[in-house]
Structure 1
Amino acid sequence: MNWYFFVAESLVGWYASEASLQWALNAYNVAIAATLLVGVALGDRFGRRRVYNLGILVFTLGSVFCALANRMPLLIVARVIAGIGASVMTPMSMAILTAAVPVAKRGKALGIWSGIGGLALIVGPALGGLIVAKLTWQWIFWINVPLGLIVIGLSRFYLPESTGVATPINLTDAGLSMLAMTAIIWALAASSTSINGLGPFVGLIIGLVAGTWFIKRQQHVVAPLMPLTLFKKRIFTMGNVATFLLYAAMYGVVFFLPQFLQVVQHDNAWEAGLSLLPWTGTLVLVAPFAGKAVDLYGEAIVAVIGKAAGIYNVFRLLGGAAGTAIAVVVFTVSSRVPAMNAIGFQTVMFSTALISAIGAGCAWQIRNSKNL
């Protein structure tokens, strides 16, 4: 996500509207949210590696369309295509990993997986800033093409195929989940850019109604997209709440920190990317140890279900959208001027720190929970 901000910075003069520019970024998350649970169900039914490779292929094609886009509407559509492909990449990779690793070592394996994935957070800011500074913004997307093709080729040789319970996908449930997630994520994102607050409010109501209907149906259908029985386990519920808060805090920081470095500190894209490294690099150092601790305390049991990975990503996306919206509102209220400034930035950082502290409290509840 970090390097896409540098793309946004370089497009300001070309695309004019900052609101439409933000939607070029938001379209990606909305597409992921809309198709996530359906994509996980398809992986369980038709093969996780197969759906994983299909997702990478769609994401790669979306990246090509992004690089070729010469108008804002085309870029937004291309981002939607890339988001649809990306919606299955993370949950499928988690499901493939947990199916291939013994139960006793899954926590450690997921920790290593998170650490390796965190390399993107380290490389992303610096590499994205360097590419934008030295080349053109289109190369941010062109670089995904060879990487995507290499990953597809390697996965066919080295990743085992696995499936879940091959249950039929209920179209009503799929439609309701897509409508609920799209409307809620859109409303949260639009709340920070819309002049008229009625649109986001209506979108939020539509999303909540669709989400409530979806949850009601999950209590009675034979093969639910989101098994509500998982939430009977306190560790699972609190874990997803902690995930929501983590990404709410992180997205708030990610949205404003590069702006502060470039607008207030007057760093160029390359310097701003390097300045983010001490923050993003901690994930790689901490994740493997956290995963080993999960195995030690026996709290990795719930993470083995593919659908559980999908639910985790739902909370991750909701948290990111909510965190960005909250950060923008906090900045607008606290800042004396609409442009980026130190006072507004500091207030946003305090608010994200508070969200992080609440998330840490949820994590502590998980550690002390006996209802596994």
Structure 2
Amino acid sequence: MTPPQPQPPTRQPDQPNGLHGPARNWAMLAVSLSVFLALLDYAIANVALPDIARDLRASSSSSIWIVNAYQMASLVSLLPLAALGSRVGFARLCRAGILLFMVASLLCATATSLPVLAGARVLQGIGGACIMSVNIALVRFIYPQAEIGRGMALNGLVVALGVALGPTAAAGILTFASWPWLFWINLPLGAVALGMAFYALPNTPRAAHMPDITGSVLCVVAFGACVMGGDGLAHAQNWVSALLLLACGLMAGAWLVRREAHLAQPIMPVDLLRRPDFAVAFLTGFCGFVASNFYIVSMPFTLHDALGLSSAQTGLLITPWPIGIILSAPVIRRVADRISAGVLSSIGLGLTASGFFLLWQLPAHPALWDIAWRTALAGWGFGCFQPPNNRAMMVAAPLHRAGGASGMVQVARQAGQTVGAMGVAAFFTFWASGANRECLLVAGCVALFAALLSASRLLVGRAA
């Protein structure tokens, strides 16, 4: 007996026409504001880790939970929320995410202990996942097929602006106020983003099916148990429990993949991962973000603790990373729809790896300019890598799977960032002396591997 063949939802159009004129501009502004809100606080929290750890009497390795709590909550909920967005509408889920993010920011600002702050960051992560799981899908409906690369480049520019202004805003705020004000600023920003989301986001086709509840639970268990088990190993905390959690997560993941293998709208997009062009782009994105978070999480400690710089100087010296991404955006926007991801992403990741290796080779007492230009080079390369690779994932998926593809774009980012943060925690736990510099070496090696993986698309002729 042959299994039933997957059928696309009946209410999906065959091809996206996109929006035009002012409607497109307003819609992209709404998407940009929501993405900016979700990313700004992540970047701010990274820079403030040393200050938060001191005020809450937490160790450096434990304080990374401020990052990991957000990342884990976002990661485990991305795919279920992407499926939910396909059912209720991408715009509606984005609005709900903005509102939840604002409530969680209020709880972060009033937290008085590390566990309370981490719990509030979990809620922030879920709110951020509501936004990030559907933002790429919204871009695909805002832009026509031939111009998706432009939309991806603009989205990447907004991501870079969020990361760029995070350290700068943190430096300014920490100069005059305490770290809770890093979270208070989300309330007015969120109000503006929410208003624009109600005004301008387009209505998108809604899938006829209901999300798979069992698959959603398995997805949460698989990602959550793997992350918590990996974090336990990274912090050398209760090895037996950590290994059991890892085993539980892997078994749940295997069950999930087997269950979803023949579904038309799987929570875990097994159907998309069977496509070689999609799978290579996903793995390239994952490795790229592992490398970036080895840099992003460890660099504030390198600057603050190893080089003795102030919090304000630390924030300013991380800023060239996103500035490099911003400066690459005009170039990538022009060529992302004409030159393959196998070329653009490989070159970009090669430059990122070079920047990380140069930072690893910094002298013991470097000039500030020596830090800044190396960081900018790595950031410029990273900006060249992201939009073409994201575009490759989206165009490899059929339109009725836009939600799943958008979720996987964010899973590549969030999973890579989470693994990178856990890697830094492991270095701090097991190799406290000199761990900061060695993290930069690992970042360079992983970025170089990602560049080679991206270039493999040229060899097999499957570049998007």
Name the TM-score class by shorter chain: over 0.9
Q: Is the 8 A contact 1:62 1:82 kept in 2?
A: yes
1:363 counterpart residue number = 454
Report which stretch shifted further, 229-238 or 210-219: 229-238
Q: Is the 8 A contact 1:331 1:347 kept in 2?
A: no
Name structure 2 gaps, 5 residues minimum: 1-41, 341-391
| One-letter amino acid of the structure 1 residue matched with residue 395 of structure 2 | I
Report which stretch shifted further, 292-301 or 314-323: 292-301
1:295 counterpart residue number = 337
Q: Is the partner of 1:206 in helix, strand or coil?
A: helix
Determine the C-alpha separation between the residues in 2 that align with 1:353 and 1:123: 24
1:324–1:70 CA distance, 2 compared to 1 (3 A): closer
2:176 counterpart residue number = 134
- TM-superposed CA distance for 1:332, in Å, is 5.3
Determine the C-alpha separation between the residues in 1 that align with 2:80 and 2:127: 12
Is residue 316 from structure 1 mapped to residue 413 from structure 2 by the alignment?
Answer: yes
- TM-superposed CA distance for 1:185, in Å, is 1.8
Q: Is the partner of 1:213 in helix, strand or coil?
A: helix
Q: Is the 8 A contact 2:79 2:407 kept in 1?
A: yes
- TM-superposed CA distance for 1:38, in Å, is 1.3
Is residue 17 from structure 1 mapped to residue 49 from structure 2 by the alignment?
Answer: no
Is residue 8 from structure 1 mapped to residue 25 from structure 2 by the alignment?
Answer: no
- TM-superposed CA distance for 1:198, in Å, is 2.0
| One-letter amino acid of the structure 1 residue matched with residue 54 of structure 2 | G
1:236–1:294 CA distance, 2 compared to 1 (3 A): farther
Out of 422, 430, 433, the position equivalent to 1:325 is 422
1:121 counterpart residue number = 163
Residues 1-36 of structure 1: CA distance to partner in whole angstroms, max 9, x if unpaired?
Answer: 332133322222332232543223311111112211
Determine the C-alpha separation between the residues in 2 that align with 1:159 and 1:112: 16
1:94 counterpart residue number = 136
- TM-superposed CA distance for 1:181, in Å, is 1.0
- TM-superposed CA distance for 1:82, in Å, is 0.9
Out of 438, 441, 444, the position equivalent to 1:353 is 444
Determine the C-alpha separation between the residues in 2 that align with 1:129 and 1:188: 32
* TM-score, scaled to structure 2: 0.75
Q: Is the partner of 1:295 in helix, strand or coil?
A: coil
Q: CA RMSD in A?
A: 2.0
Report which stretch shifted further, 139-148 or 150-159: 150-159
1:212–1:278 CA distance, 2 compared to 1 (3 A): same
| One-letter amino acid of the structure 2 residue matched with residue 237 of structure 1 | A
Q: Is the partner of 2:211 in helix, strand or coil?
A: coil
* TM-score, scaled to structure 1: 0.92
Report which stretch shifted further, 120-129 or 217-226: 217-226
| One-letter amino acid of the structure 1 residue matched with residue 415 of structure 2 | L
Determine the C-alpha separation between the residues in 1 that align with 2:264 and 2:277: 24
2:303 counterpart residue number = 261
Matches within 5 A, 1:160-179: 160-179=202-221
Residues 276-324 of structure 1: CA distance to partner in whole angstroms, max 9, x if unpaired?
Answer: 1222212122245335433114745126612101012222222122222
Q: Is the 8 A contact 2:43 2:166 kept in 1?
A: yes
1:369–1:119 CA distance, 2 compared to 1 (3 A): farther
- TM-superposed CA distance for 1:344, in Å, is 2.8
1:278 counterpart residue number = 320
Q: Is the 8 A contact 2:47 2:314 kept in 1?
A: no
Determine the C-alpha separation between the residues in 2 that align with 1:221 and 1:229: 8
Determine the C-alpha separation between the residues in 2 that align with 1:228 and 1:289: 34
Q: Is the 8 A contact 2:301 2:436 kept in 1?
A: no
Determine the C-alpha separation between the residues in 2 that align with 1:75 and 1:163: 38
Is residue 239 from structure 1 mapped to residue 330 from structure 2 by the alignment?
Answer: no
Task: Figure out how many residues of one structure are paired with residues of the other and give that number.
Answer: 366
Report which stretch shifted further, 30-39 or 136-145: 30-39
Determine the C-alpha separation between the residues in 1 that align with 2:304 and 2:271: 47
State the 4+ residue runs in structure 1 displaced beyond 3 angstroms: 287-294, 297-300, 327-333
| One-letter amino acid of the structure 1 residue matched with residue 444 of structure 2 | A
Q: Is the 8 A contact 1:189 1:324 kept in 2?
A: no
Determine the C-alpha separation between the residues in 2 that align with 1:283 and 1:89: 21
Determine the C-alpha separation between the residues in 1 that align with 2:418 and 2:456: 24
Is residue 306 from structure 1 mapped to residue 403 from structure 2 by the alignment?
Answer: yes
Q: Is the 8 A contact 2:91 2:197 kept in 1?
A: yes
1:139–1:311 CA distance, 2 compared to 1 (3 A): same
